[in-house]
Structure 1
Amino acid sequence: MNIQRANEISTSPIMAEVTYQGTPIYIQAVNDENKTARIYPLDEPENEQTVPLSSLIEHEK
């Protein structure tokens, strides 16, 4: 996923379908400098992690 799209998703009030390793996730924040995102699985909000943007996949609704 590119930085611009990740930033759009993280600031949008509309939920986008994004997965990390096949798991639906929520993007909390994007680090432009490191090209990473702070995410958590939708069903495990306590399981926050930082992952490379390249590992995130957006799915069309």
Structure 2
Amino acid sequence: MTTCDFCGRQAPDESEDAAATLTWTTSVENGRRRTYCDTCSREHLRAMEGKLDSEFW
């Protein structure tokens, strides 16, 4: 089961609905993979962009 690392929301198992996490985002922070639901991704987009190096723009 996939869980949002920000709010704790859980998506159904991929075997049940593969599209459920299609709009979720992932990142690697300090070598650890983090997953964020679509709601948290939209609400915190500016903070995520602010962490990117300017070479990615």
Q: Does the TM-score normalized on the shorter chain lie above 0.5? A: no
More strand by share: 1
Query: Which structure has the larger Rg over C-alpha atoms?
Result: 2
More helix by share: 2
**What's the TM-score once normalised by structure 1's chain length?**
0.30
